[in-house]
Amino acid sequence: MSAASSRRCWGRTIVGLALALLAVVGCNGDPTTVVVDNGFPAAADAAGTMTVFKVWWVTTLFPSPVAPGASSETERTIAATDFAYALLAPGWSPGGGPPARLVALASAQPLTATPHDLLTITVDDAHFVGDCAAGSTLDAADAELIVERIFPGDFAGATYDPSTCTTTPAVADAGQGQ
């Protein structure tokens, strides 16, 4: 066999292996996506409204509020397994200024997005922990992660107490400026 013939043979083999690898990997063109469903029912009065203010999962931020019973826009994400984190705005509806109160939540279990599929994150008391009004609280480490690392801008200048789901203005350092 000549050198040129050998190169063509190897070239066909490499192309064949690459095509086989693409078939095995499942490169079907469908992205991995995620959507947030607000599983809280619509309330008769505004005070009972539970708006999902923000959600974070692995690499995807949902910055727009989701009304009770509604769904967010579908976003692209990566295939992974991890916890989701959310902020509830009880008694708040978009368009009325910033929420007076935020409640930090974490999914009760890790959630899994599989390649080329849709992950639906349902935010409600059955799937998330941390809503004191529902009788569940976050531990201090989870609360710290959410308010200091995931959503720090929403808690800037404040202290969040996960045992009561309350936010208070941070106390200024008494020794500051001395």
DSSP state letters, 20-31: HHHHHHT--SPP
Indicate if the pLDDT at residue 7 is higher than 50.
no
Instruction: Quickly list DSSP for 45-95.
Output: SGGG-EEEEEEEETTEEE-S-B-TT-B---EE--SEEE-EEEEEEET--TT
Q: How many CA atoms lie within 13 A of 92 on its CB side?
A: 20
Predicted TM-score of the model (pTM): 0.80
Indicate if the pLDDT at residue 78 is higher than 70.
yes
Residue-wise pLDDT for 13-66, tens only, equals 555 544 444 444 445 679 999 999 999 998 877 778 999 999 999 999 999 999
Higher pLDDT: 46 or 159? It is 159
Contact 130, 165 (CB under 8 A): yes
- Torsion over CA: 63, 137, 90, 100 (sign): negative
Domain ranges of the chain: 1-29, 33-169
Residue-wise pLDDT for 117-151, tens only, equals 999 999 999 999 999 999 999 999 999 999 999 99
Residue 135's pLDDT is what? 96
Q: How far apart are the first and last CA of the chain?
A: 86
Distance between CA atoms of residues 106 and 97, nearest Å: 25
- Closest to 154 (Cα-Cα) out of 107, 105, 99: 99
Distance between CA atoms of residues 55 and 169, nearest Å: 23
Indicate if the pLDDT at residue 157 is higher than 70.
yes
